[in-house]
Amino acid sequence: MKLFLISQDENCGYDTYDSAVVIAENEDDAKHSCVCSYHKYRDGKLYFQYTNGKEREESYCSDWTAPENVSVKYLGEAKEGSEAGVVCSSFNAG
């Protein structure tokens, strides 16, 4: 697993994320990370995750941006045994 800095400048209003450090297998997986805790990418699709375990497919996350708008920078190797996901993120509260 690797550490990546992901960032975006397409969705820069209040209550949006501008960047995050994520653990991912590769750059493409990092690009498809959604920094909010409510969405997950799976099989090339974005799903909203309800607290009861149900989910629904969505076209985008209003707190983040589409994968094609995400910049990715490799930071280094993650600690052995680390799980994929967001390590920390930058949120622009409104």
Contact (CB, 8 A) for 22 and 83: no
* Nearest-angstrom CA–CA distance, 27 and 73: 8
pLDDT at 44: 80
- pTM, rounded to two decimals: 0.87
* Nearest-angstrom CA–CA distance, 47 and 53: 11
* Nearest-angstrom CA–CA distance, 64 and 39: 10
Q: What is the pLDDT of residues 27-37, one digit of tens each?
A: 999 998 888 87
Q: What is the pLDDT of residues 37-87, one digit of tens each?
A: 788 888 888 899 999 989 999 888 888 998 899 999 999 999 999 999 999
Tokens at 34, concatenated: 């959604």
pLDDT at 21: 98
| Location of structure tokens 């622009």 | 92
Q: What is the pLDDT of residues 14-23, one digit of tens each?
A: 999 999 999 9
**Greatest alpha-carbon span in the chain:** 37
